[in-house]
Every structure is written in structure tokens, then in C-alpha cells.
Amino acid sequence: MRRVMLLLALGLACVPARDAAGIPSTTPTAPPEPTPTAAASAAPSPAQSPAARLDDPLVTVAPSFPSAASLTLRSLPADDAAKTSVRFGIERYLAILNAFRDSGASDPAQLGAIGGRFRDAVTAGMKASATQSVKRKFALQSFRIDRFLAKPWGTTAVVEVTATILDQDVAGAAPDQVETGRLRLTGDRPFVVDGWDDASGRWFNGPDVVAPAEVRHSVGAAIGFLLRLESWIPGSPVETAYGSGGETPYLRARHAYLNALDRATLTSRTFADVSAAIEKYETFAEIRDGLATVRVVGTVVTNDAAGHQTRQPFVRRIVVLFGNWMPEVVDEEVDGHWMSGGDLALALRDRNFA
């Protein structure tokens, strides 16, 4: 029986649009747009002018970067729900693997976010498993969870499995080809990101680390988005919502803060000269997710109906979560008080909301 070269190393992740250290993608992505209010979402009549557009303020992030503090994943037993989720992740990987082979396996870009030695293994393995005049389909026969690791707040982080895969002749004329090997899945909806390289005795890609430049870029984007939601100019819509998913103590306090801003007296409120410095960055050895504590300084610029302008300096601290969604602010220290009250509710926020 011909052995399917590197079959179990040919993982493909349906990776959600995440950013650095959310990180979830190597290309940082803007935070999610807020859900517009009814007034903001209503289509303008022909007599109405389009709403004024307000861009995120420019945020300059200091190049200095602290030594990353260590967060530790914890080993947990996998319950039935976890096993079902892992099975779905493996079957999703095999379905995409089938589509890649059916397309001719000639365009590695179809492998999405998979890169490095793992992508090379995917491409080589698909070519090696091609059979003239026989249409084949990968199917999962069985799997065993070897390691199930979660973040301190309970979100699934890393799953390592031993899986047995069948490479079946769709017509049923040729015998199944069978291979057993190891796969590595990550995320709260586990997806395959790596495979075990028997030749070197390690994972093809190994730990997923993040570059400081990625963290700085994402921190700047998260802060700019945050400040835009509390900014306005004449004709711009009111934006009070922030993000998707479950409500947290921080989000409740944040909404109250936005609703208390003086929109009646002030015709505009914007930010200038905004800079940030990452004071602490906490991450894991195995994955790039983590938390950044950032000091933000700048100037709030307001104008009233009489045309009087006021420039007021401000200083804040914020916490940015890099997890299964886009990097987002999960806490702010304003006037010496953290809005979360000490409860970051990371189990609610560290999810893929796609």
C-alpha cells in the first residue's frame, strides 16, 4: 500500500481575521466596527447630506518594548463538548485539504494563513498523494487527544492529537490508504495549524511567537479606534456601541462614559498628539496571544457653539487583549480608576465572534 507522504502534517487552518498577538494574523487588522445606532444607520433621504467622516486619530507608539512577562497555559481534561469541537476542527481541515487537492494543489495561497515549513509540507504531501485516474477523499477514522491546554481564564488554547486518516477512493475501487500521526490545533474553535515532523522530531512550525512591531501596530490601531468612538465633529454620527459579544463590567462602564459626554454643548471633540508606551506585555510560550498594558497621553481638543476652543491634556492606561478576535481594549484606567473594577471578563471577550 502506498503511504501518503506527510498526510497528517498537511493541516490547514480556517483562521479568523485576527491581528498580532490576538494576534490572531501576521497582518494587523483594524478592530471591529461598532454597531451603529438607529440614527446613524438610517439611510439619508435625497435632501440629506452624507454624514461627516471622522477618522481614527493617529497614535504614535514608542519603539521601546518591555520583556514579555510569562503567562502559563494549564492542562485540562477534555470533556465531550471539547472532543466534539476538536473533531469538527480536524474534519474542517480535511475538507479544505480535499478542496486544495481537487483544485490541483498548485497554488499555496489557497492554504491561507499556514506558512513556513508547514506550508511546504502541505504542498509536497498533496503532490505525493496524487493518484492518476483516481479521485480520492480524506476522511477521519479516529483521533485521541494527547494534550488539552487552556488559558488561565479557561479559553481553549492548544490541542495536540494523534489522528488516523483514511485516503479513500471515491469510486470505492481502490483500497483505502491509512496513516496515523500527530496534529496541533489552536484557538477557542480549534483549527489545525501544525503537524509533527517525524524526521526532525518536532513540530514543523513550532511555537507561534509575535514580533514586537506587530504588537505596537495593533496597540496603536486599538487605541485609535477607542478614541474615535468618543470623538465627533459637526455632522458626524453618534457612536456608542463597542464590539461584539458578551457584556462585561468594563463595557458597561465604557458605555456609561460615552453617554455622559457633553454632546449638547460641544460641537466637536477630537484628539491630537496621541502617543502610547507599552509598559507590560504578557504572553505565552506556545502561542502569540496575550495582554498589553499601555500608557496613553495626548490632548483632547473641544469646540463649543461660540467657537471657543479648549485643549486639555490627558493621561490614561489601557489593557489590550490579543486573543481569538481582533485586538481590543478590555479595560481603561481613567482618573485613577479602572473601569472593569478588576474583572476583565476575559472568558467572555477571548472568543472568535466571526
Cell 501518503 sits on residue: 4
Residue type for position 136 = R
Residue 340 pLDDT: 96
pTM value?
0.82
**Cα–Cα distance, 283 to 280 (Å, whole number):** 10
Paired residues of 299 in beta bridges: 272, 313
Residues 136 and 79 in one domain: yes
Residues 151 and 223 in one domain: no
Taking residues 199-225, what's their average pLDDT?
94
pLDDT category, 40, cuts 50, 70, 90?
very low
Q: Which of 203, 238, 261 is the last residue of a domain?
A: 203
DSSP 60-116: EEPS--PPPEEE--EE----HHHHHHHHHHHHHHHHHHHHHHHTTS--GGGGTT--H
Contacts of 201 (CB under 8 A, 6+ apart): none
Residues 165 and 66 in one domain: no
Tens of pLDDT, residues 83-137: 999 999 999 999 888 888 888 877 877 777 677 888 888 888 877 777 777 888 9
Residues 195 and 219 in one domain: no
Q: Residue 142 domain-assigned?
A: yes
Q: Residue 43 domain-assigned?
A: no
Q: Residue 38 domain-assigned?
A: no
Secondary structure class of 214 (helix, strand, coil): helix
Tens of pLDDT, residues 158-202: 999 999 999 999 988 888 889 999 999 999 999 999 999 999 999
pLDDT category, 238, cuts 50, 70, 90?
confident
Residue 254 pLDDT: 92
Residues 217 and 342 in one domain: yes
Does residue 33 have a pLDDT over 60?
Answer: no
The DSSP code for 7 is G
Decide which of 13 and 175 is more confident: 175
DSSP 230-279: T-B-TTPPP-----SS---HHHHHHHHHHHTS-TTTEEEEEEEEEEEEEE
Count of CB atoms situated within 10 Å of the CB of 40: 15
Residue 109 pLDDT: 77
**Cα–Cα distance, 288 to 165 (Å, whole number):** 29
Residues 11 and 153 in one domain: yes
Q: Residue 1 domain-assigned?
A: no
Q: Is the dihedral of CA 292, 152, 350, 204 positive or negative?
A: positive
Boundaries of domain holding 319? 20-33+54-70+210-349
Q: Residue 42 domain-assigned?
A: no
pLDDT category, 82, cuts 50, 70, 90?
very high
**Portion of the chain with pLDDT greater than 90, in percent:** 62
Return the CATH number at 197: 3.10.450
Residues 29 and 86 in one domain: no
Maximum CA pair distance of the chain? 85
Q: Residue 39 domain-assigned?
A: no
Domain count, the chain: 2
